[in-house]
Amino acid sequence: MSCPFFSESEAVSINIEELRDKASRLPLTPGVYLMKDAAGRIIYVGKSKALRSRVLSYFTDIGHHTVKTAKLVSGISDFDVMLTSTEIEALALENRLIKLHTPKFNIKLKDGKSYPYIKLTVNEEYPRILVVRKRLADGAKYFGPYSGTSTAYMIVNTVRKAFGIPDCKKNFPKDIGKTRPCLNYQIGLCCGVCTGSVSGNEYRKVFSDISSFLGGSFSEVKKSLTEQMEYASENLMFEAAALCRDRIKSLSKLWEKQKVVAAPYVEQDIIALYSDETCTCLTVFYVRGGAVTDSESFVFGADRIVDEDAVSSFLYELYSVREYIPKEILLDFPLCDDSRNTLSDLLREKAGYRVNVRFPEKGNLKALCRMVADNAKEYAARYNADAEKQNDTLIRIAQLLGLEVVPERIEAYDISNYGSENITAGKITVVNGRFDKSGYRTYKIASTAGQDDYASMREAISRRFSHPEDEYPDLILLDGGKAHVSVIRQLLAGLGIPIPVFGMVKDEYHKTRALTDDECEISIAKEQPVFLMIYKIQEEIHRFTVSRMTGAKRKSLKTSSLEAVNGIGPAKAKALLSAFGGLSGVAAADRASLAAVKGITEKDAEAVITYFAESKKKRTKTT
């Protein structure tokens, strides 16, 4: 599809005239260009249907460049290009290269970004409502995508309470009548499927109402619940009537958050862009069933290039990680016909149907785009105000700790363990006062014997700085005291890395109290913004490290449980867990399925069956 072209590497910087001359010899064909700095690092990736014209534009009429483009050009020492057959191939290649090289001047999604959906398993006798990451062709109904799991779970929890859906993990109809109903049933928050009083048909009718609600037809659901309430009231069933009334209220409250903007069943995304001298904000409103069900905003710093090529590339990346693409995307900003058609063609390849990318210039659709643009402007204003507050706090931290630079990039470390097993070190990254999930890491401590926090911390940070290509922080914070700081300062001094290190000290209630170097504590009790930022960092690194250690311990327990089976060692246990998705899956598997796993013999399968049968007998006796 593509091939390298004019790849030249030189030890000295090439001046603008030489870059212009090199660009003038490029072909007028589609492709991707990679701008490099003096160290050979790729700082910007772009695409064009005519490489010569596009690349030449960077080195021509430099005085007319925007501030952002001028800053980019001032850092370019060389460039490479890659030819493609079509502009569509160029956009796809550009997207892959941006993900691979993460150039500093490109706008891009956060690493690992994916979008949750609400799933109704309507093909089951007793359907379930779930939050999932993938949209599959499995006969279920999917709604979304939503901008984050918090939004999806908020909707699911509201729907569960409003419709009386169980939130337990019972398997229906298998578990009907096996246990007494829980408290939720007693207080009217659950319809009590486990009691056997709700048939499969009745339960599916409830899920039909849920499907209507999530699909944008609240009026139908409200009418149905109102009729139930009136019937209950007329028949002196006052508790049932009150329950219907409360359900209508909770659903109405949720529905009010979803502004109706279009005809029922319309599905489209509306995208607007706002830019000022401090940042650029791209906001997306997701319209499902004629209503705005969710929104999402992306903010890029003032140093990022936000031109037509960059925006079309970002939009392709945005939709490349989503399982569902609506048939219509409205833009509040124009894209040239070539860019719009190229984006539409790529989205059609992924979606399997035509995706109409439009720039409405009048009427109701234009008004909708303006509404989203107003939201983008408002979001940018709030973002800038928060950024200013965070920057003031970072400046104060630098003053308190006597730092030479403002700590725009902070790394925090913690150690968590389960006895002397599953010792895990965690690292989180804070950039400009905000948690950067792409900089989170865990290190499984292997070379340290027993519970030795200092040695474990030393091993983790030594491994972290064995990767010099990763950007170094301006400040390191440790969840620990003076001794921890002393150990890590000595380590970094030996490595020749001059990064300041401080400890986050806790009080007797395990809450943040102060910062410390290897000699004395620095009180932050009266520095409220500083205290709040350090407190959040300490809580987050503790949460992250403990969650990773707990996950490792849980995995270890599952594996060790299988290793209790005669003839099953670590490798076979791992193979079984992988094949059946966990311990419960292995326990439920039959002999033939077990023996079909690579490395598992008939004898092994028999041993596993016997082990779980005996375990079940023991549990039955104890109960």
Average pLDDT over residues 187-192: 75
Tokens of 413: 């470390």
Q: What is the pLDDT of residues 467-499, one digit of tens each?
A: 877 889 999 999 989 999 999 999 999 999 999
* Helix pair angle (149-163, 200-214), 10° resolution: 130
Q: What is the pLDDT of residue 7?
A: 41
Q: Residue 356: is its pLDDT beyond 80?
A: yes
Least confident of 31-40, 58-67, 386-395, 595-604: 58-67
Instruction: With H, G, I as helix, E, B as strand and everything else as coil, classify residue 162.
Output: helix
State percent of the chain over pLDDT 70. Answer: 88
Q: What is the pLDDT of residue 617?
A: 67
Mean pLDDT of the chain: 82
Least confident of 84-93, 323-332, 336-345, 596-605: 84-93
Tokens of 239: 């508790």
Tokens of 113: 């970004």
Helix, strand, coil % over all residues of the chain, rounded to 5: 45, 20, 35
Edge-to-edge strand order for the sheet containing 268-275? 291-301, 279-288, 268-275, 328-331, 356-358
Q: Residue 12: is its pLDDT beyond 50?
A: no
Residues ≥6 apart with Cβ < 8 Å to 563: 569, 570, 573
Q: What is the pLDDT of residue 218?
A: 63
Quickly state the pLDDT bin for 220 (edges 50, 70, 90): low
Could you please report the per-residue DSSP string of 5-32? ES----SSPPPHHHHHHHHHTS-SS-EE
Quickly state the pLDDT bin for 261 (edges 50, 70, 90): low
Q: Which helix (H) or strand (E) holds 134?
A: none
490 vs 506: which has the higher pLDDT: 490
Q: Which domains does the chain have, with CATH numbers?
A: 2-101 (3.40.1440.10), 117-256 (no CATH), 268-379 (3.30.420.340), 409-552 (3.30.420.340), 563-622 (1.10.150)
Distance in angstroms (rounded) separating the CA atoms of residues 531 and 435: 16
Instruction: With H, G, I as helix, E, B as strand and everything else as coil, classify residue 295.
Output: strand
Residue 33: phi and psi, rounded to 5, are: -120, 145
Q: What is the pLDDT of residue 262?
A: 54
Tokens of 212: 């209507």
Q: What is the pLDDT of residues 542-591, one digit of tens each?
A: 989 888 766 555 555 444 567 778 888 878 888 887 777 677 778 878 88
Residue 211: phi and psi, rounded to 5, are: -60, -40
Residue in 380, 375, 212, 403 with CA at minimum distance from that of residue 301: 380
Q: CB 323: neighbour CB atoms within 10 A?
A: 18
Yes or no: say if 357 and 347 are a contact pair by the CB < 8 Å rule: yes
Q: What is the pLDDT of residues 132-146, one digit of tens each?
A: 887 777 888 888 777
Helix intervals (H) in 300-362: 308-320, 337-351
Quote the pTM value. 0.57
Least confident of 124-128, 210-214, 408-412, 535-539: 210-214
298 vs 91: which has the higher pLDDT: 298
Least confident of 365-379, 481-495, 606-620: 606-620
Residue 50: phi and psi, rounded to 5, are: -140, 90
Average pLDDT over residues 364-383: 88
Residues ≥6 apart with Cβ < 8 Å to 439: 411, 427, 428, 429, 431
Average pLDDT over residues 13-20: 74
257 vs 59: which has the higher pLDDT: 59
* Helix pair angle (453-464, 482-495), 10° resolution: 30
Yes or no: say if 497 and 474 are a contact pair by the CB < 8 Å rule: no
131 vs 191: which has the higher pLDDT: 131
Residues ≥6 apart with Cβ < 8 Å to 314: 107, 108, 109, 282, 298
67: left (phi over 0), alpha (psi -120 to 50) or beta: alpha
Distance in angstroms (rounded) separating the CA atoms of residues 426 and 416: 8
Tokens of 74: 């001032």
Strand 268-275, strand 328-331: pairing? parallel
Considering 5-14, 102-111, 519-528, the range whose residues carry the highest mean pLDDT is 519-528
Q: What is the pLDDT of residues 149-177, one digit of tens each?
A: 777 888 888 888 878 888 887 778 877 77
Quickly state the pLDDT bin for 618 (edges 50, 70, 90): low
237: left (phi over 0), alpha (psi -120 to 50) or beta: beta
Q: What is the pLDDT of residues 222-237, one digit of tens each?
A: 777 787 788 778 777 7
Q: CB 135: neighbour CB atoms within 10 A?
A: 17
- Secondary structure of 507-558 as H, E, C letters: CCCCCEEEEECCCCEEECCCCHHHHHHHHHHHHHHHHHHHHHHHHHHHHHHH
40 burial type by CB count under 10 A (0-12 exposed, 13-18 middle, 19+ buried): exposed
Tokens of 415: 């150690």
Q: Residue 430: is its pLDDT beyond 90?
A: yes
